[in-house]
Amino acid sequence: MIRCRKARFAAAVFASALFISIGAQAQSVAVWVEPAETRIAPGEYCTLYVHVDDGVDSLSCAECVLGFDPAIVSFVSTRMGTLFTGSSFPKFFDWDTPSPDTVSFAACVLGYRSYIIPPGSLFEIAFVALSVGLTDLEIGRISVLDIDRNQLAEQIGQRGRIIVTTQTGEKAPTPPSERIWNYPNPFNPATTIVLELPAGRNTELSIYDATGRKVRGLFRGAAPAGRSEFRWDGTNEAGSAVGSGFYFAVSRSGSLQLERKLVLIR
């Protein structure tokens, strides 16, 4: 009964959003699965991510259907990605397995003009390997809505592939891409900035305002491979609180530059 109520609520959210979007000019966003390839042995687990780019400044809801080969892998669980979990707005999330080879999920931030700020992950999906072989994780259907609940034009990109093998000496799983995001977003009074690098390197992380003026230096030195977290408390170099508005966390590591839009609400 609870699942039925959730399904009806999700359907109502997306139906009303589609009604609002009638006549609106659809903007475009790209959606894809990461990593492109994962190699595991029977009995091992892996997680794949549905990602969205920054084709628009803000999003509100997303619904996705993934197909896979149930003879190769079995669906274990799914949860909201960092874009939703990092949001301070109330959230709705539900998932279903309408058939043995399909999993569907939907998430939405609730409230008038509530939003999440791309790019980043919409959903995380865990699988367990059953037998040797390969399966592609295909996005069968995707629906993404902007801050006004208008339907966006989705461009489906890279699919994910799970290769289940018992052989040794195979290519290692794809390392994580260079990424930067933060949570919560919007925030008040502080936020955590997450930097993910596939290899250690000298890095400088700073905060800039919307005019490009440097507000605060957060880190300068050797950043390790993998995930690093840095806290910004919404103050400048002098320790004074800055005002509400858009800011940018900028990471520079040699020729690599990553940016993340931050929203401070006082």
Domain positions in the chain are 2-164, 179-264
State the Cα–Cα distance between residues 206 and 215, nearest whole angstrom: 8
Fold match between domain 2-164 and domain 179-264: yes
Who's near 177: CB < 8 A, 6+ residues apart? 34, 35, 196, 198
How confident is the model over 48-84, as pLDDT tens digits?
999 999 888 899 999 999 999 988 998 988 899 999 9
Mean pLDDT of 153-175: 72
Q: Which helix (H) or strand (E) holds 50?
A: strand 45-52
Please give the pLDDT value at position 226.
79
Q: Is 3.40.109.10 the CATH number for 2-164?
A: no
Please give the pLDDT value at position 15.
42
Average pLDDT, the chain: 83
Write the CATH number of the domain with boundaries 179-264.
Answer: 2.60.40.4070
Other Cβ atoms closer than 10 A to 115: 23
Global pTM value:
0.59
How confident is the model over 189-222, as pLDDT tens digits?
998 888 888 777 899 999 999 889 999 999 999 9
Going across the sheet that includes 37-40, the strands are 37-40, 160-164, 133-146, 59-67, 102-109, 91-99
Residue 9 has pLDDT above 50, yes or no: no
Cis check: omega of the bond before 119, within 30 degrees of 0: yes
Please give the pLDDT value at position 167.
66
State the Cα–Cα distance between residues 257 and 83, nearest whole angstrom: 20
The pLDDT confidence band at residue 1, using thresholds 50, 70 and 90, is very low
